[in-house]
Amino acid sequence: MKGLVIKSTGTSYGVHFEDGTTADCHVKGNFRIRGIRSTNPVAIGDYVEVTTNEDGTHWITELYDRKNYIIRRATNLSYASHILAANVDMAALIVTINHPKTSTTFIDRFLATCEAYRVPACLIFNKIDLLNEEELQELASLRQLYESLGYPTYAISALDLASTPDRPIVSSPLYSIFHDRVTLLSGNSGVGKSTLLNAIFGKDIARTGAISSAHHKGMHTTTFSEMYPLGDIETLDTLKTPSTPGVRSWIIDTPGIKGFGLLDLEKEEVGHYFRDIFHVSRDCRYSNCLHTGEPGCAVYQAVAKGEIALSRYESYLSILDDTQENKYR
C-alpha cells in the first residue's frame, strides 16, 4: 500500500495512507545495502510502499522516486548526508537578526543547497519585535539584498501572531507560503520555528524553549522531524490529525540546526548556485574561473565595485574552503 512519510523518530516512521489512516512503520534492511549513504534513507515527505506482516507489523519495502529533496552534511561520520525532507514545494528558512543571530553564511549555504536540489526558497525574518533601530536597519538591508536576488522575504513576530485570538494566517502574507504546498520550515535552534508553527495552527502542537543566556543561542526543542497537515485554511479548518484523504497543504517541522554543511559539490559548480555570482560569471575571461582573483574575473571585479554583496562572496569562499568535514555541522 502506498503512503506518505509524515514522521521520523530515528527508529520508526509514521506513514499516512490514501484512505486517511496512519501507521508506524519500520525500514527493511535492504535500504542500507543499496548504497544510500545517508543517516535516513527514508525521509519526511517520501512516498513509500508499505507491506503488513501477519503479526501486524508494517514495513517500508519500496521508496518511490523523489522530485527533489533538501540535504545537508551528516553529523554521523559513518554517513555522508542527512536528508531533511523530500518532495518539497517550498523551503522556508526562519531567520533572526538577534536572539539568536542567524549568520549570512548559514543563510547563503541554505539557499545554495536549495538551488542545487531545485527547491524554491524564501526567508522569514522572525522576532522583529525585539529589534532596536540599528537592527531594524540591518533587517531592511538583508531583505533588500535577498529580494533583489529573487528570494521572497517576510518580517514577522511569531509571538504577536500567536497572541491573536483568531488565527491570522489567512490575512497574513505567509498564507501564500503554506497554501496548497508542502512547506519545509528550517533554521537555527531558537529562531522561533515552534512558536510560528503553534501560531499557524492556533494551538500548541510544538514545544518551545528558551534561549541560552550564556551563549545567546537556541536550545533544541524539536527532537525529530514531523509533517503537519493543514485542512481548508481559508475557513480556518485545521486538521487535528491527518485523517482526511487528499490533504494538499502540509508543513514540515525539523529540529534546529547549528550549521549547514554542503556536500557533493565540485568547486567549479559552487558559483552556479549563487544567483548573483552565476549571472556575473558569464563575463569572466576563463570558463572555469573560481572567482578567487584570477585574471579577468568579472565576479571579483563586481565585488570590488559593490555590485555583489561582500557577505555573499564570503559565503561562497567559505564553501570553497569547506575542507573540514565537521566544520559547519
Lowest pLDDT segment from 44-58, 143-157, 242-256, 282-296: 242-256
pLDDT, residue 221, reads: 46
74 in any annotated domain = no
Q: Is residue 98, in this structure, part of any structural domain at all?
A: yes
- pLDDT level of residue 327 (50, 70, 90 thresholds): very low
CA 217 to CA 2: how far, in whole Å? 41
Coarse DSSP helix, strand, coil percentages of the chain, rounded to the nearest 5 percent: 25, 25, 50
261-293: pLDDT as tens digits: 665 678 889 999 999 999 999 999 999 999 998
Phi, psi of 110 (to 5 degrees): -65, -45
Question: Domain check: are 202 and 304 in the same one?
Answer: no
> What's the CATH code of the domain at 237?
3.40.50.300
Q: Is 2 left (phi over 0), alpha (psi -120 to 50) or beta?
A: beta
What was the pLDDT predicted at 223? 52
pLDDT (tens digit per residue) in 142-178: 999 999 999 999 999 988 876 665 555 555 678 778 8
pLDDT digits (tens, 9 = 90+) for 56-93: 999 999 999 999 988 876 554 445 677 889 999 999 99
User: Is position 329 within any domain?
Assistant: no
pLDDT at site 323: 47
* CATH code: domain of residue 14: 2.40.50.140
236 and 280 co-located in one domain? no
Cα gap 120→170, rounded to integer Å: 21
**pLDDT reported for residue 219:** 42
Cell 538583508 locates to: 142
| 158-190 exposure pattern, b = at least 16 Cβ within 10 A, e = fewer | bbebbeeeebbbeebebeebbeebbbbbbbbbb
Mark whether 249 and 271 lie in a shared domain. Answer: no
Q: Is residue 73 part of a domain?
A: no
Q: Which residues contact 216 (CB under 8 A, 6 or more apart)?
A: 99, 100, 101
Higher pLDDT among residues 244 and 90, named by residue: 90
CA 180, CA 171: separation in Å to the nearest integer? 16
- Which helix (H) or strand (E) is 26 found in, with range? strand 22-27
Of 84 and 4, more confident: 4
Report the number of distinct structural domains present in the chain.
3
First to last CA, the chain: 36
Q: Tell if the pTM clears 0.95, that is, is over it.
A: no
Mean pLDDT of 181-201: 88
DSSP 156-192: --HHHHHHSSS--TTTSTTHHHHTTSEEEEEESTTSS
pLDDT over 70 (residue 238): no
SS3 257: coil
Per-residue DSSP letters for 37-57? -BS-SS-TT-EEEEEE-TTS-
Q: State the residue range of the domain holding 283.
A: 267-320
Same structural domain for residues 228 and 102?
Answer: yes
> What is the mean predicted confidence (pLDDT) over 83-108?
94
Report yes or no on 78 lying in a domain.
no
% pLDDT > 70, the chain: 76
Q: What pLDDT was estimated at residue 239?
A: 39
How high is the pLDDT of residue 168?
Answer: 52
Q: Is residue 193 part of a domain?
A: yes
Residue 75 lies in a domain: no
Could you tell me the CATH number of the domain that includes residue 316? 1.10.40.50
